[in-house]
Structure 1
Amino acid sequence: MIAWLGVLAISIVLRVVLEAQEFPYLVAVAPYMLISFATPVAILVGTLRHRPPHRAGWFLLVAAQVFYAAADTVTVVDELFSGEFLEPTPADLLYFAYYLLIAAAVLLFIRRRSPGWDIPSMIDALIVAVSAGLITWVFVLQPLTSDSELPLNAKLTQSAYPVLDLMLLILAVRLAMGTGTRGTVLYLLLGSLVLMLSVDTVYLVQNILDGGGVSEAYLDAIWMASLGLLGAAALHRGVRTFDLRSEHVVLDASPARLAVLAVAVLMAPGVQALVWLLDWPLNIPLISGSCAVMFGLVMTRMAGLVAVQRRAAVTDALTGLRTRRYFTDALSLECRRAGRTGHGVGLLVIDVDHFKRINDGYGHPAGDQVLREVSHRLAAATRAGAVVARYGGEEFVVLAPHTGPEDLLALAERLRSAVADLPIAVDDELLGVTVSIGAAAETHPEPDALLRTADEALYAAKAAGRNRSVLVTPSPTATAA
């Protein structure tokens, strides 16, 4: 990869120097063509050398760059001999194929790295796309389509490039904001796409302003840098893990992501102000429609963020059960309802027996695995309408509305059996895990009193030998199972 970057740097310098020294066209453009032809070879060599688990995306990049090199060759031949190809020229058709293939490769990378829908990243990409689409239309497509001197074929051909660039921009944003491993390969690939989109935009705008072809060496130098970064990405050993999903959660509202979205949303009023300063005709429906669409997308994102935060506030991160805070609120609410209607409220307090031995003997990751499996079994064995929560450490609670003493004791036994009947796999071993359960049922309960009664029943179950259920009712008699 270092050798490749060295060749790239030398070629870029030569391209600029040869143009400045007014060498013949073929000599001046030779360094550019070298990088154009070498890029698919570099990608292929990197893919075969590092052997990433999924190679289809990289092979698509090879094919895309072959079409790109062929298009460059046709462009040089046309420029050298005639320059009279009618649009769309053969080079345009080859460039269009390049765009489609590289878009397919990036889309494949996205699907490998983020197998699910990842709705937040999709919405973020749409926000950026609407903003970029507005800028593209106002400053590129509208001047092109309104030029009465251009034939229709030329208008359609030149308009296709910014549309295809916009497609790549959406995919690049989706790739950057989605899940997956971060690292050098991702940043090189994104850098290549950003440079390509930027120089394409500059080329189109300059072409519009100059009214003719643009062949400045500095544009070729940026295109070469874009191709070089793509080749470097394939030659980096990080391609072996590039399309794997990351074990680390990508922040849904990181400062960088919020900054990108803020800039995208502010583009619409910024474009309107710039058009007004330039004294161009204001396209009010287009700008207003763009603002309305982006506002709707931002509100959708905000609703998603609020839902995620609310879910996180009431869901235990380790077990997926409800949190202690959620359970406390639910218990108070149910007790108030029971006070009005007189229905019974049952409560179970569940503790994993000898849990400290598991942590000490097998480590905390094994203890976490036991807690997750116990949580799953408790949730699966509990009837609908009950609240299952992690109360703290290895202790769980089950709130069972409209439940009398006998039904509550049957539920406690069902939960105890669900945990004890099958061992839990930990570090290639099967551990027998049991729970002790304290149960309390009242018809006019007070939250604190009901919880205290269930807690006393739990202590009684532990004192009686563990792996059992004990029910305490308001009557003096205690029932055990």
Structure 2
Amino acid sequence: MRRDRWTAIAWLGVLAFCVGLRVHLGSNGSSELVAQLPYMAVSIGTPFVIVYGTIRHRPPHRAGWFVLAAAQVFYAIADGVSVADEWLSGEFLEPTPADLLYFTYYLLISAAVLVFIRRRTPGWDLPSGIDALVVAISAGLLSWIYILEPLTADSELPLNAKLTQSAYPVLDLMLLILAVRLVMGQGTRGAVLYLLLSSLTLMLGVDTAYLATSIADGTSVTVVYLDAVWMVSLGLLGSAALHPAIRHFDQRSDTALPDASPARLGVLSIAVLMAPGVQLIQWLRGDPVSVPLISGACAVMFLLVLARMSGLVSAQRKAAVTDGLTGLRTRRYFSEVLAVECRRAARTGHGVGLLMIDVDHFKRINDGYGHPAGDRVLREVAHRLNAGNRAGSVVARYGGEEFVVLAPHTGPEELFALAERLRSEVGGLPVDLGGDLLAVTVSVGAATLSRPQPDALLNAADEALYAAKAAGRNRSVLAAPQHLAGKVA
């Protein structure tokens, strides 16, 4: 741990020295080649630092970090070619060899971020994707109005130069979408994520500032302080790889992020208000107002926000009827469905079956193995109940270690067979508690009534469950209509 701390401090010390030296040499009239040496030292050193951190900390999945290191290799080579071009002649036509290397860097770093996203959030995370798209549309609108449109309108630039310079904000926008998707998706929070995000944010910001300065001056501009920010961005990237937390960076978080946190809503609000804000600024400055473009962007973002709100409502409804630990239905949902099914049975005369299931000796599991192990047992029991359940039935967590199964249109024999199947499904294999195999059994109380009342059906199943426990547990008991134990297995 001490070695890791001193390595990180040494890297930050080298970074601070090189940044200070770059500013000093660039401000005192030194030759451009000499002034660029500190910058090149950081640029060349960053991929080596990333590789060192990856090998040192050995994260379970290293592909993303090695791709990131490869991206920085291309970035360093592109920087070297660019410096050499300016020092020797500066006569390369666009796209220059450096431009082609920078484009490769963009593709590789985007691939690395995409690997991180896929590792941290397996499957499709539609809400985070919509959020990233809203931010991207807002940023794309700004990029077009203040960067791309002035570039394409410059009649003095040859077509190749226009295409080359326009490619950078497009690639920046692509990387921005992935960066927003990374931070808004699920996954562990912590220093590595924030260092990586800060690096990408600085990189995108200084790229935008460089292009904006070039457009304002009408020439390609190299600014000392922009180089300093680029260096800090590279330094943060190296610091992320040196942090021991990269071992857990690509792990999915056990708890879902708040889907409508204040920070997330704040980012989306700023993004949505950006379009009318730009329109107002253009009007106040007397510039031509891009009405079709801004109106189209507003319409698309409005539709995306509607889709996002629809997703929030759907998620809230699902959360209200889903048990957070087991993924089964909640007791409240079960009670509502039971009442509806009993009313339907009273009209049609069909039978309604109910199973009440309790995990045997669950307190011993919690006391002997701990509550996390108890939670794991409950999740596994829920999974097995779902796997062995028949179509059309409702499985819910009734409370603690108790589960219920509502089986409409079920007679006594069929219900008892279902109870035995579920009991065998749960007890058939031991539960893996992370190395320890634990035999888990359940007791089942079953009751079926024609024209039932919810309370009467629950009482009958509860009494049958009590009888199953009293008879030695790990068995099923079918209650008679008079709430007597009618059949024991």
Under a length normalisation based on structure 1, what TM-score does the superposition of the two structures give?
0.92
Q: 1:11 to 1:136 in 2, by over 3 A?
A: same
The answer as to 2:406 corresponding to 1:395 is: no
The answer as to 2:386 corresponding to 1:386 is: no
Give the structure 2 partner of residue 116 of structure 1: 123
Give the structure 1 partner of residue 293 of structure 2: 286
- Of the structure 1 ranges 199-208 and 370-379, higher mean CA displacement relative to structure 2 is found in 370-379
Give the structure 1 partner of residue 367 of structure 2: 360
- Counterpart-to-counterpart distance in 2, 1:425 and 1:243: 24
Give the structure 2 partner of residue 184 of structure 1: 191
The one-letter amino acid paired with 1:352 is: V
Q: 1:218 to 1:441 in 2, by over 3 A?
A: same
- Counterpart-to-counterpart distance in 2, 1:419 and 1:15: 67
The answer as to 2:87 corresponding to 1:87 is: no
The one-letter amino acid paired with 1:327 is: F
Q: Secondary structure at the residue paired with 1:369? A: helix
Please state how far the C-alpha of 1:424 moved relative to its aligned partner.
4.2
- Of the structure 1 ranges 142-151 and 172-181, higher mean CA displacement relative to structure 2 is found in 172-181
The answer as to 2:226 corresponding to 1:257 is: no
Give the structure 2 partner of residue 32 of structure 1: 39
Please state how far the C-alpha of 1:98 moved relative to its aligned partner.
2.0
Deviations 1:364-400 (A, max 9, x none): 3333333333333332332211112111122222211
Give the structure 1 partner of residue 77 of structure 2: 70
The answer as to 2:66 corresponding to 1:59 is: yes
Q: 1:354 to 1:213 in 2, by over 3 A?
A: closer
Matches within 5 A, 1:142-161: 142-161=149-168
- Of the structure 1 ranges 392-401 and 235-244, higher mean CA displacement relative to structure 2 is found in 235-244
Q: 1:391 to 1:240 in 2, by over 3 A?
A: closer
Deviations 1:307-349 (A, max 9, x none): 2222222122222221110110001101111122222222222
Q: Identify the match of residue 194 of structure 1 among 201, 206, 216.
A: 201
Matches within 5 A, 1:120-269: 120-269=127-276
Q: 1:202 to 1:321 in 2, by over 3 A?
A: same
- Counterpart-to-counterpart distance in 2, 1:350 and 1:303: 36
Q: 1:200 to 1:342 in 2, by over 3 A?
A: same
Indicate conservation of the 8 Å contact 1:420/1:432, yes or no: yes
The one-letter amino acid paired with 2:256 is: V
Please state how far the C-alpha of 1:475 moved relative to its aligned partner.
5.2
Q: In structure 1, list runs of 5 or more residues that go unmatched.
A: none
Indicate conservation of the 8 Å contact 1:338/1:444, yes or no: yes
Give the structure 2 partner of residue 479 of structure 1: 486
Matches within 5 A, 1:340-379: 340-379=347-386
Please state how far the C-alpha of 1:299 moved relative to its aligned partner.
2.1
The one-letter amino acid paired with 1:349 is: M
Indicate conservation of the 8 Å contact 1:442/1:473, yes or no: no
Q: 1:87 to 1:341 in 2, by over 3 A?
A: same
Indicate conservation of the 8 Å contact 1:403/1:441, yes or no: yes
Please state how far the C-alpha of 1:252 moved relative to its aligned partner.
2.7
The one-letter amino acid paired with 1:472 is: A
Give the structure 1 partner of residue 318 of structure 2: 311
Please state how far the C-alpha of 1:302 moved relative to its aligned partner.
2.1
Q: Secondary structure at the residue paired with 1:322? A: coil
Give the structure 1 partner of residue 4 of structure 2: none
Q: 1:337 to 1:283 in 2, by over 3 A?
A: same
- Counterpart-to-counterpart distance in 2, 1:205 and 1:179: 34
Under a length normalisation based on structure 2, what TM-score does the superposition of the two structures give?
0.91
Q: In structure 2, list runs of 5 or more residues that go unmatched.
A: 1-7
Indicate conservation of the 8 Å contact 1:369/1:426, yes or no: yes
Q: 1:431 to 1:10 in 2, by over 3 A?
A: closer
Q: Secondary structure at the residue paired with 1:349? A: strand
Please state how far the C-alpha of 1:132 moved relative to its aligned partner.
0.7
Q: Tell me the C-alpha RMSD between the 2 structures.
A: 2.4
Please state how far the C-alpha of 1:205 moved relative to its aligned partner.
0.9
The one-letter amino acid paired with 1:354 is: H
- Counterpart-to-counterpart distance in 2, 1:123 and 1:469: 49
Q: Secondary structure at the residue paired with 1:360? A: helix
The one-letter amino acid paired with 1:324 is: R
- Counterpart-to-counterpart distance in 1, 2:385 and 2:72: 56
Indicate conservation of the 8 Å contact 2:198/2:233, yes or no: yes
Q: 1:387 to 1:276 in 2, by over 3 A?
A: same
% identical equivalent positions: 71
Q: Identify the match of residue 324 of structure 1 among 299, 319, 331.
A: 331
